Amino acid sequence: MNAAMLRTPLVAAVAVASFAMSGLASAQGTDIEQRLADLEARVAAAEARADAAEARAASVEDTVDASEARLDEVARQASGEEGFSFNAYARSGLLIGEDGKSTSGSPYITPAGGLGGAVGRLGNEPDTYAEAVLNYRQTYDNGAKAHYRTMIADGVSTSNDWTADESKLNVRQVYAELSDLPSFTGAFENASIWAGKRFDRDNFDIHWLDSDFIFLAGTGGGVYDVQLADSWKANFSLYGRSFTDFDVVSDVDPNANDTDSFIYTVNNYFGNVQWMINGLSAADNDTRDLGNGAVAADSGVHTMLAYHGDSFFGLGEGNFKAALLHGQGLGAEVKGLGSDGDLTEDASATRLAVYGTTYLAPRWRIAPSVFAETSKDRYDAGDEYTWAGLNVRLANELTENFEMQYEASYQHMDLDQGPAGNVAEGSYSRYTVAPTFKPQVGGFWQRPEIRLFASYSDWDDDLNDYSADDAFGEEGFTGSEWSFGVQTEVWF
């Protein structure tokens, strides 16, 4: 309040009134002041608090970001993308005949089986076969990646748990593969290289016959995914395999009963088309005594033209694969490249393999396949082997966890071992029904499966006693066979 304003009584009175008024205003002002000051302080505090909260949130955010980055790393380790991971294939179960004992079975059970002529496997497997794959993956500071893999595998036909006497446990793969190498550029930019003992990465199979289209495996080295042109990728490799302890024609050199089969592979991809070319050589394998006067091959050629279809033969959703294979000399074992040293130098073989998968109806899957081969001068001059088969696997998904599977398999074979050997012609057929449990139905490749099954198989009498190496014609196994069983099949 300003003292200079109190000049006249009136003014004074006014002033008094004013004063009173201003006192009033002032009292009110002081209160407001206070409240304002309080508010200002509170706002400052609230600002600080908001800032602190913000800072805290930001700090947590940073922690979370760091934690996320760490979690990424840990997740990579936990999932096996980095470090250790485990894969497996296994089947195990019982295959029981009408007499209440284990009975013979195998996709390779027919006389054509020894030539690679597989039939349907559903309800036709008496063994416990398991592969355990141990992987270790590393990513380096420079971005390069290394993948180490080792696989142990075993296959026995006994049902006992302790199988030390029958054990076939062995190491099937030991290799390292390097990719994303910074100093690989140009055509090699996406290439990976490998060395060691392995199954080739690009092997593929007709699952229902337990047969690969091509099975390239052994010890060696190679390079994958060389980009030769925009639509042309190729793999190059050298695989070695061992031929040992064979008899030789003239036994002058007692050490010469072993050699190596080397497979030189160029595997080309043009979109869906694959063209694989293989050269084979096995020094001195021609000194091998085949026991029938024929000369064993010491070299060979092999080629496969394949198509990897994205539909069911263009007729519907699904997939199909088709391949035509031809080999000569050591290449006449057209699937297991370089694995057969008993082939003659004139051996030739041509094989067709086709399969497809599709849904016939919402809960009905079907997977038919055709598998056929003709070969001649295979193990002796003048022999001739022809076999052809058709297999159909059908599945009806009844609940989330259960489906009925059916398989019909037919194979005709016309086998002539040549001048000194046996002859047989006839056909084999097998029908299987398999109630099957699985965690989640819905696809051709979903495993594990736990299946019960009943199979009926029959064959022409002519096929019995053709070979001492197969079960056909053995005591109590001469045709019209029922078999039953339970089995699991797993892969991941």
75 phi, psi to nearest 5 deg: -65, -40
Q: Which stretch binds its own copies (CB under 8 A): 23-31, 114-122, 326-334, 404-412?
A: 23-31
401 binds its own copies (CB under 8 A): yes
Contact positions with its own copies (CB under 8 A) in 450-479: 450-452, 474-476
337 binds its own copies (CB under 8 A): no
Dist. CA 450–CA 260, nearest whole Å: 41
Quick note: the x/- pattern for its own copies over 97-136, rule CB under 8 A, is --xxxx-------------------------x-x-x-x-x
What single-letter DSSP state applies at residue 492? Answer: -
**Contacting its own copies (CB under 8 A), which of 154, 342, 377, 380?**
154
Q: Smaller CB distance to its own copies: residue 469 or 475?
A: 475
Q: Smaller CB distance to its own copies: residue 68 or 247?
A: 68
- Taking the complex as a whole, the smallest distance from the CB of residue 75 to its own copies amounts, in Å, to 5
218 binds its own copies (CB under 8 A): yes
Q: Which stretch binds its own copies (CB under 8 A): 11-19, 305-313, 368-376, 425-433?
A: 11-19
482 binds its own copies (CB under 8 A): no
70 binds its own copies (CB under 8 A): yes
What single-letter DSSP state applies at residue 215? Answer: B
Query: Which string of DSSP letters, residue by residue, matches 413-468?
Result: EEEE--TTS-EEEEEEEEEEEEEEE-SS---SS---EEEEEEEEEEE-GGGTTS-T
- Taking the complex as a whole, the smallest distance from the CB of residue 184 to its own copies amounts, in Å, to 7
Residue bearing tokens 């980055």: 69
Contact positions with its own copies (CB under 8 A) in 237-266: 238-242, 244, 253-256, 258-260, 262
**Contacting its own copies (CB under 8 A), which of 184, 359, 379, 428?**
184
68 binds its own copies (CB under 8 A): yes
Q: Which stretch binds its own copies (CB under 8 A): 145-153, 319-327, 353-361, 380-388?
A: 145-153
227 phi, psi to nearest 5 deg: -90, 95
Dist. CA 95–CA 111, nearest whole Å: 20
370 binds its own copies (CB under 8 A): no
Q: Smaller CB distance to its own copies: residue 74 or 273?
A: 74
187 binds its own copies (CB under 8 A): no
Q: Smaller CB distance to its own copies: residue 178 or 330?
A: 178
Q: Smaller CB distance to its own copies: residue 169 or 273?
A: 169
Q: Which stretch binds its own copies (CB under 8 A): 38-46, 349-357, 362-370, 385-393?
A: 38-46
Dist. CA 163–CA 141, nearest whole Å: 46
Within 13 Å and on the Cβ side, how many CA atoms surround 467? 15
For residue 394, how many other CB atoms are within 10 A of its CB?
A: 17
**Contacting its own copies (CB under 8 A), which of 105, 197, 291, 426?**
197
Give the list of residues 6+ apart from residue 429 with CB closer than 8 angstroms, or none: 408, 409, 410, 411, 457, 458, 459
**Contacting its own copies (CB under 8 A), which of 84, 291, 310, 422?**
84
Dist. CA 151–CA 196, nearest whole Å: 12
Q: Smaller CB distance to its own copies: residue 64 or 423?
A: 64
Q: Smaller CB distance to its own copies: residue 173 or 417?
A: 173
The angle subtended at Cα 282 by Cα 296 and Cα 334, nearest 5°, is 75
Residue 339, classified by CB atoms within 10 Å of its CB into exposed (0-12), middle (13-18) or buried (19+), is middle
Dist. CA 26–CA 16, nearest whole Å: 14
**Is the distance from CB of 219 to CB of 240 less than 8 angstroms?**
yes
Contact positions with its own copies (CB under 8 A) in 407-446: 437-440
CA 274 to chain centre: 18
**Contacting its own copies (CB under 8 A), which of 90, 109, 381, 413?**
90
Q: Smaller CB distance to its own copies: residue 73 or 317?
A: 73
**Is the distance from CB of 284 to CB of 311 less than 8 angstroms?**
no
Q: Which two tokens stand for residue 29?
A: 């002002």
H or E stretch covering 85: strand 83-97
Quick note: the x/- pattern for its own copies over 275-304, rule CB under 8 A, is ------x-xx--------------------
Give the list of residues 6+ apart from residue 454 with CB closer than 8 angstroms, or none: 123, 432, 433, 434, 482, 483, 484
Dist. CA 430–CA 108, nearest whole Å: 13
- Taking the complex as a whole, the smallest distance from the CB of residue 266 to its own copies amounts, in Å, to 17
List C-alpha distances in Å: 471 to 50, 259, 437, 463.
84, 31, 31, 10
Q: Smaller CB distance to its own copies: residue 93 or 111?
A: 93
- Taking the complex as a whole, the smallest distance from the CB of residue 459 to its own copies amounts, in Å, to 19
**Contacting its own copies (CB under 8 A), which of 83, 279, 473, 479?**
83
69 binds its own copies (CB under 8 A): no
Q: Smaller CB distance to its own copies: residue 317 or 474?
A: 474
Q: How many residues bind its own copies (CB under 8 A)?
A: 161
**Contacting its own copies (CB under 8 A), which of 187, 201, 202, 219?**
219
